[in-house]
Amino acid sequence: MKVVLFANTDWYLYNFRLGLALELQRRGVDVLLISPDGPYGSRLHALGLRWIVAPLRRRSLDPLSELRTIVWLWRLLRREQPNLIHGFTIKCAVYASIAARLAGVRARIGAVTGMGYVFTSTDLRARLLRPLVREVMRAALSGPHVRVVLQNGDDVVLFTRSHLVDARLIRLIPGSGVNLSRFSQCSNAAAPGPLRVLLAARLLWDKGIGEYVEAARRLKAAGRSIRFQLAGMLDEGNPASVPRPIVDAWAAEGTIEWYGHVEDMPALFANTDVVVLPSYREGCPKSLIEAAACALPLIATNVPGCHDVVHHEANGLLIPARDAQLLAEAIARLDDDRPLARRLGLAARERALAEHDERSVIARTLAVYQELLPEIFAQTVSPLAEPLNTMGSDQSL
C-alpha cells in the first residue's frame, strides 16, 4: 500500500502529521510526503521518510500558476500510483482531489484543518474569492471514494448547511492529537511572582495577535507586572501575516517578549502560567491542547475550534473575539486568583487525556483509510472515526 500526505508546509507535516507518517511506515505502508521546500524536509528524511518538494505557492492567486501546480501533482501521482492521497488545508485538499481523480487514484481524503484566509478574513479580496472557492470545493470534494475530515462540529455545520460537501462523506476527527508523554503536567499557576502569559501561534492577525498586544498594554498601564510572551514564526506566505517591523516594535517597547519559533514547547510551557489564544476561528488548535496537556489554564475566544477545547469556567475562560478589554479582564482575573488558575489547569489536563491523545487520533484516521480501501488496508483499526450521523448531541445538526 502507498499513501501520499500533501500539505502546504513541511513544518505542518513535521509538527502535526509526523506521528501518522511514522505509524503508517511502521505498518509497512509506503509513505510519500509532499510540501513546498523548507527546513523540516531534512528532518523528515533523517527519520527515513520520503519527502518531495512541491511547486506550491501558498499566496498565489494566479490561475496559470495554480493550474501548473495541479498538473505537476497529476504527473507525480501518475508516476507514483498511490492507493490513497491525503491533503491537508483547503488548497491542498482540493488540489489533491482534482489531480488524484485525473490520475486514477482511487481514495482521496481532504482534511480541512481550518477555514483559512478566504473564509475568515473580511478583506475585499477574500470576500470576492469566497464564492469561487466554494464552487471549486463542491466539485473537487465529491464522489464515493472521497472523505472530508473536519476538526470541529461548527465546521461540520458550515459545510453541510452551505452544501459544500455531501454530509455522508464527512468524518469528524478533532485535530492531530498530542503526545501526552511529551507534554506532561507542569502547571505553576498557583506560585507567587509575576504571572507569565503565553500566546503561541503563527503571527497572523486572525490569531488575535493585535488584541493580545492591546490587552498587554492596558494591563501594564494599570500597573500589573505581568509578563506577556509571544512564541511563533512569521508566516509571510499568508495574507494575514503580521509584518516583522511591527512585531519588532512591540518587543522594543517592552509590551511583549517575542521568542520567534520555539522548538522545545514543553520547556516553554514549564515556564508559563496561563496560555491564551484570542483567535477569530480555528480548526482544532494544537497550542491549546498541548498547553492543556501540561495542566495550564486556558483563555480563548468563544469561536469554532477554541470552544471545542475550552469549556468556560471548567478548564479555562472564554471571551468574545476581537475584544482586547475582555481579554485583559480574563488575564487579570487569573492573576488575582491563582488557585482558580491552578484548578482550571488540572481540569484542562484531564480533558486532554480523555479526548486528545495522539494515538487515538491516528487510529481514527487509519479507520478512514480502511473505510476507503477495505481490501488493501485489511488490519482492523479501532476506534472508528465518527460518521456524521453518529455524532454526540453537542455536535448534532
Same domain for 371 and 351, yes or no, is no
> Same structural domain for residues 23 and 156?
yes
Do the domain assignments include residue 137?
A: yes
Which band of pLDDT confidence, cut at 50, 70 and 90, is reported for residue 138? confident
DSSP designation for 384: P
DSSP state of 162: T
Average confidence score pLDDT of the chain? 89
Residue 182: inside a domain: no
Spatial CB neighbours of 119, under 8 Å, sequence gap ≥ 6 = 126, 130, 133, 281
Length reported for the chain? 397
Give residue 117's pLDDT: 58
Kindly state whether residue 70 falls inside one of the protein's structural domains. Answer: yes
Q: In sequence order, which residues have a C-beta less than 8 Å from that of residue 385 and are 6 or more positions away?
A: 149, 171, 172, 173, 364, 365, 367, 368, 371
In a domain, 187, yes or no: no
Asked if 253 and 265 sit in the same domain, the reply is yes
Q: What is the pTM of this model?
A: 0.82
Share of the chain above pLDDT 90, in %: 71
Tell me, what's the pLDDT at 390? 35
Residue 51 located in a structural domain: yes
- Residue 388 grid coordinates: 456524521
Contact 268, 200 (CB under 8 A): yes
Please name the residue ranges forming H helices in the chain. 10-16, 18-26, 41-46, 63-80, 90-103, 116-120, 124-140, 153-161, 209-221, 244-252, 265-270, 286-293, 306-309, 324-336, 338-355, 358-372
One domain, residues 19 and 163:
yes
Q: pLDDT tens for residues 162-175?
A: 888 899 999 999 88
Q: What's the pLDDT tens digit per position in 268-307?
A: 999 999 999 999 988 889 999 999 999 999 999 999 999 9
Band the pLDDT of 397: cuts 50, 70, 90. Answer: very low
For residue 184, is it within any domain?
A: no
Q: Is the pLDDT of residue 393 over 50?
A: no
Write out the residue range of the structural domain in which residue 251 sits. Answer: 196-355
| CATH number reported for the structural domain that contains residue 219 in this entry | 3.40.50.2000
Q: Are residues 112 and 143 in the same domain?
A: yes
Q: What is the pLDDT of residue 187?
A: 58
367 near 390, Cβ under 8 Å? no
Instruction: For residue range 72-98, list pLDDT tens digits in order.
Output: 999 999 999 999 999 998 889 999 999
DSSP state of 385: P
Do 46 and 173 belong to one domain? yes
Residues 265, 383 within the same domain = no
Highest mean pLDDT among 238-247, 306-315, 370-379: 306-315
**Domain shared by 218 and 344, yes or no:** yes
Q: Are residue 165 and residue 142 in the same domain, yes or no?
A: yes
Question: How many Å apart are CA 70 and CA 238, to the nearest integer?
Answer: 20
pLDDT given for residue 381 in this prediction: 39
pLDDT level of residue 122 (50, 70, 90 thresholds): low
What are the b/e assignments for 79-91, b being 16+ CB within 10 Å?
A: ebebbbbbbbbbb
Average pLDDT over residues 241-260: 96
Pair 24, 154 in one domain: yes
Number of domains in the chain: 2
Percent of the chain with pLDDT over 70: 90
Per-residue pLDDT band at 53 (split at 50, 70, 90): very high
Residue 165 in any domain: the answer is yes
DSSP code per residue over 304-340: TTHHHH--BTTTEEEE-TT-HHHHHHHHHHHHH-HHH
Are residue 245 and residue 291 in the same domain, yes or no?
Answer: yes
More confident residue, 222 or 383: 222
In a domain, residue 382? The reply is yes
Does 207 lie in the same domain as 168? Answer: no
| Best mean pLDDT range from 155-159, 232-236, 293-297 | 293-297
The grid coordinates of residue 261 equal: 519559533
